[in-house]
Each structure stands twice: as C-alpha cells, then as structure tokens.
Amino acid sequence: MEVVIVPDAAAGGDIIAEAMAKLLHRKPDALLGVATGSTPLPVYQSLAARVRAGAVDVSRARVCQLDEYVGLPTGHPESYRSVVLREVVEPLGLSPEAFMGPDGAAEDVQAACDAYDAALAAAGGVDLQLLGIGTDGHIGFNEPCSSLASRTRIKTLTEQTRVDNARFFGGDIEAVPHHVITQGIGTILEARHLVLLATGEGKAEAVAATVEGPVAAVVPASALQLHPHATVIVDEAAASKLK
Ligand code: F6R
C-alpha cells in the first residue's frame, strides 16, 4: 500500500484526476468506479477541468457506482444515481449509457445486487476504484464487521453513518435511509487499482487503523492492505494520527 500525504483536498483531487487521465490515455474505455459523499468532489472537479481544457478524452470512458441507498424514490436528488449523474456524468459530458449502478428501487434487492456484480464482471471489471472512508472505517457502505470476502449486497447503515450523512438530507437524520446496496469488500478488492482519498481530522483515526492497524473486519478499509495496487491519499489533517 502506498500512502501519499498532500497539503489539502484540492491537491489530492488533482493527483487522482491525473491518475484517471493517464489511465484513460492508456485505456480510453476504462471503467472508473466512483464514490459519492463530499470527499471525492475535488477529484471530479479537477477531471472535468481537464476535459474542458482538452487535456483528456473521456468520449469512451465508463463509470460505475460503488453503492446506493435503498428505498429512495427514483430521481430523488440524494440517490447516488442522481449524485453521480450530477457530479460526474454531466460535468464530464458522458452519455448516461456510459454509467452503471445498482437498482436501489428494485423489489428483489438481492437479485439487483447479484445482477450488478454480474454486470461489473461482464464490463471487464473496474480499472480504478475511487473510495472515501467513513469515520467508522467503512468503504462503500461496508460497515464495521462486514466480511472481507463480501459481494454486493444489502446492508444496514450504522447510526454513526446516518448521523454523518444527515447533512445531505437537510440535517434530518430521519430522512436518511436505513438500508443501502453496496459493492462488497470482495467485489471492491477485484478492481485493478484502489485509490482511497481521506481529508480532514475527522478521518484521522480511521486512516491510522486502515494503514497501520491489523487487517480486520472491524475496520473494513484495512482490507486495502490485501490489495496489490492500493494508494491512500490523505491531507495533513487526515494523516495526523499516523505514526
Ligand atoms: C460513498 C461511500 C462512502 C463514503 C464515506 C465518506 O459512495 O461509499 O464510503 O465515501 O462515507 O463520505 P464523505 O466523503 O462524505 O465523508
């Protein structure tokens, strides 16, 4: 695992956007796994700026979701499908057909999860998976004690994650769904390159446990230690509890 400490979130965004641009130069139809939440926004802004400047060709690029809320009405602005369309697909000028995600409104949720794992495999697998990290060490929505071999499935959010995400729902924790579909840790580990971005002091403990702690289901992100090509990019605040 490679750990890169950057001065701030914008610098982290630039490094990752540059890695995505290089990947797309080498493999124009690369499949980029995108995370939602606040942390990855500088990555998408930096990549979109490169596209506008003509520095990277995304005409054949594909993107796929990491996770999705269960039970939000189709088109809800905070469904992760809506967020990825708004923050990634539209600014990059991708066609909606270049975008894949699990169906959080499916009646048979497990069938939707299985179909998503199959669709990722049929697409040739994820080339670069961007990850954020929860304050409790989750990746995707694999909360603590998720199996390190898990596949895409339904999970229940912890109270802590619902509190953390209430800001996207007008501060109303009751509006945050209890359930999500998430790529499993085993699914995530199949991506060819994992890039985790963490910024801010609130992530410092989770980052230290991920990088320096034992590989353990209680810290799902520690599974990155098992991956042959994992990069952890942290600003100084998120790095503050590393030894
Ligand atoms: C989102 C996701 C989550 C977030 C994590 C951090 O798709 O999978 O693991 O990356 O909850 O969220 P932020 O970046 O908002 O602190």
CATH number at residue 7: 3.40.50.1360
Would you say residue 116 lies in a domain?
yes
Q: Is pLDDT of 51 > 90?
A: yes
- pLDDT tens digits along 171-213: 999 999 999 999 999 999 999 999 999 999 999 999 999 999 9
Name the DSSP letter for residue 85: I
Expressed as residue numbers, the domain containing 104 is 2-235
Q: Is pLDDT of 155 > 90?
A: yes
Task: Give yes or no for residue 39 CB within 6 A of ligand 1.
Answer: yes
Question: Which element (helix H / strand E) includes 130?
Answer: strand 128-131
Give, in order, the Cα–Cα distances in Å from 40 to each of 16, 215, 225. 9, 24, 21
Rounded CA-CA distance 66/54 in Å is 28
Protein residue closest via CA to atom 2 of ligand 1? 140
Query: DSSP string of 30-52?
Result: -EEEE--SSTTHHHHHHHHHHHH
Cα 57 to ligand 1 centroid, rounded to whole Å: 27
Would you say residue 178 lies in a domain?
yes
> Which residue of the set 68, 143, 164, 235 is catalytic?
143
Task: Please enumerate in sequence order all residues whose Cβ is within 8 A of that of 59, keeping only pairs 6 or more positions apart, or say none.
Answer: 28
Would you say residue 38 lies in a domain?
yes
Protein residue closest via CA to atom 3 of ligand 1? 140
Task: Give yes or no for residue 64 CB within 6 A of ligand 1.
Answer: no
Would you say residue 242 lies in a domain?
no
Would you say residue 243 lies in a domain?
no
Would you say residue 157 lies in a domain?
yes
Q: How many domains does the chain have?
A: 1
Would you say residue 225 lies in a domain?
yes
Rounded CA-CA distance 91/135 in Å is 28
Rounded CA-CA distance 227/101 in Å is 23
Q: Is pLDDT of 9 > 90?
A: yes
Whether residue 136 lies in the annotated active site: yes
Whether residue 67 lies in the annotated active site: yes
Confidence of residue 163 (pLDDT cuts 50, 70, 90): very high
Would you say residue 241 lies in a domain?
no
Question: Residue range 76-80: average pLDDT?
Answer: 97
Name the DSSP letter for residue 139: B
Query: Which ligand 1 atom is the nearest neighbour of the CA of 34?
Result: 7
Whether the model clears a pTM of 0.95, i.e. scores above it, the answer is yes
Q: Is pLDDT of 74 > 90?
A: no
Rounded CA-CA distance 193/230 in Å is 6
Task: Give yes or no for residue 155 CB within 6 A of ligand 1.
Answer: no
